[in-house]
Amino acid sequence: MVINQPMSQIRLTNVSLVRLKKGKKRFEVACYQNKVQDYRSGVEKDLDEVLQIPRVFFNVSKGLVAPNEDLQKAFGTTDTDKVVLEILSKGEIQLGEKERQLNIQNINKEILTIISTKCINPKSRKRYPPSIINKVLAELNYNVLPNKSAKSQALEIIKLLIAKQIIPIARAKMRVRIVWNGKEAKKNMEKIKELFNETESEDYVGNEMWECHAVIDPVNYKPLVELVAGDKVRQKGSIEVLEMAVVGEGDTSF
């Protein structure tokens, strides 16, 4: 993206715009590429390293600077620094085409990695490498959304893949260790075991504590935590995740 600023004939290159709509008007600031995310994450704190021009615009590409009276109406101040900080914090990042494509590629790579980690072939109990997942998504004509997190998209795609079964696929299970008060465990044994896929081992330690190793579906983890360790006052029990994705022995495929 190349932007000309007519007011001072400054030629802006490698620009990322951040836009924020307040009331009925849109305000913009011109930033260096990749610096906005650095600022939001706290990596970069110097605004001079973030902003190409320390001004607030209606339209950066046309060089239309927002007047103080409009800043006052929209932001309640004419202090440019305060307005810029709000736009940087709350505004929507407008990426250049190359930056947009790179962003999509990075999100797609992260999505494929998440799916590969969380899913297995239920027949071989092995993970699919990201390249196979990518081919299936291409067949489904799935388009990565640049403004949505990779994790949320990956979880949606997993549901889609399981429903379509273009390739045999299922969520990998979690292996957990549960330590619980023996009396509470006996009282809730039916409820707790409904959340298990498999009980690997269980034992009572001194008739006071019940210890169990089990394999569960990831969607049952939260209900299990609420049941076993949800009562913080009584300290009923604890859950430890031993393995996030239970797969076949010797599986190292990615």
Distance CA 139, CA 136 (A): 5
How many of the other CB atoms lie within 10 Å of CB of 53?
19
- Please list, residue by residue across 196-231, b when 16 or more beta carbons sit within 10 angstroms of its beta carbon and e when fewer do: beeeeeeeeeeeeebbbbbbbebebeeebeebbbee
pLDDT in tens, 136-178: 999 999 888 877 788 889 999 999 999 999 999 988 888 899 9
Distance CA 248, CA 124 (A): 7
| pLDDT above 90 coverage of the chain, percent | 28
Say if residues 109 and 254 touch (Cβ distance below 8 Å).
no
- 3-state DSSP call for residue 55? coil
Distance CA 247, CA 41 (A): 35
User: Is the pLDDT confidence value at 2 over 50?
Assistant: no
Q: Which residue has the tokens 């849109």?
A: 26
Run of H or E including 80 = helix 80-90
Q: Which residue has the tokens 């044994």?
A: 189
Cα dihedral 204, 205, 209, 215 sign: negative
- pLDDT band (50, 70, 90) for residue 84: very high
pTM over 0.85: no
Closest Cα to residue 52, out of 5, 99, 19?
A: 5
Name the packing angle between helices 80-90 and 68-75 (round to 10°): 50
What structural domains does the chain harbor?
A: 2-94 (3.30.1250.10), 97-171 (1.10.10.900), 173-246 (3.30.70.240)
User: Is the pLDDT confidence value at 192 over 90?
Assistant: no
